[in-house]
Amino acid sequence: MTTECCVAAPLALEIVWQDGQITSMRLAWGKGKTRSVTSEAAAALQAALERYIAGEPPEWPELPLRWDGLSPFARQVMEALCQVPYGQKVSYGWLAAKTGHPKAARAVGRVMAGNPFPLLVPCHRVVGASGALTGFGPGVDMKKYLLEHEGA
């Protein structure tokens, strides 16, 4: 297992590699993080992260993401979420209905909590039915920052 780290202040995105595939990413505040980009994939991700921080839609590169271990439902939710445009928010209930499971908002929340590819699969765009900023692995303050940054 190896790691690389993309940094574009104020964010950092750590990439975890195993057997030529990305197994997970960790989103964090960039303060104190050191950029360590050696692969072409990480260089492409670094450029996309810089575009994102500059306020442009990032056009995330195609990456060798390892989707193993996700249930068919989780994969369906993640794929539907990837269709939510930059700068828009959706609710857990909306995402559940979009996948054909209108009563599965809590299950959608569990999928979001286990999202191995934050930013690429934009779980920060999912909010409570009232618009409340609910749980987010890197913290609700980062979720607020990302949504405000996107103009959502």
Q: Domain boundaries in the chain? A: 2-53, 72-150
Q: Could you tell me if 42 and 27 are in contact, meaning their C-beta atoms sit under 8 angstroms apart?
A: no
Residues 44-77 pLDDT 10s:
999 999 999 999 888 899 999 999 889 999 999 9
| CA–CA separation, 78 and 99 (whole Å) | 10
CB 45 within 8 A of CB 60: yes
Residue 17 has pLDDT above 90, yes or no: yes
What predicted TM-score, i.e. pTM, was given to this entire model? 0.92
Supply the pLDDT for residue 114: 92
d(CA 126, CA 108): 10
pLDDT at 131: 84
pLDDT of 129 higher than 90: no
Is residue 123 among the annotated active site residues?
Answer: yes
Residue 103 above 90 pLDDT? Answer: yes
The region, left, alpha or beta by phi > 0 then psi within -120 to 50, assigned to residue 135 is beta
| Residues in CB range of 143: below 8 A, 6 or more apart | 124, 133, 136
Catalytic residue among 5, 6, 82, 123: 123
At which residue do the structure tokens 């050696």 appear? 38
> For 76-99, what is each residue's pLDDT tens digit?
999 999 999 999 999 999 999 999
Q: What dotted CATH number matches 72-150?
A: 1.10.10.10
Q: Is the pLDDT of residue 134 over 90?
A: no
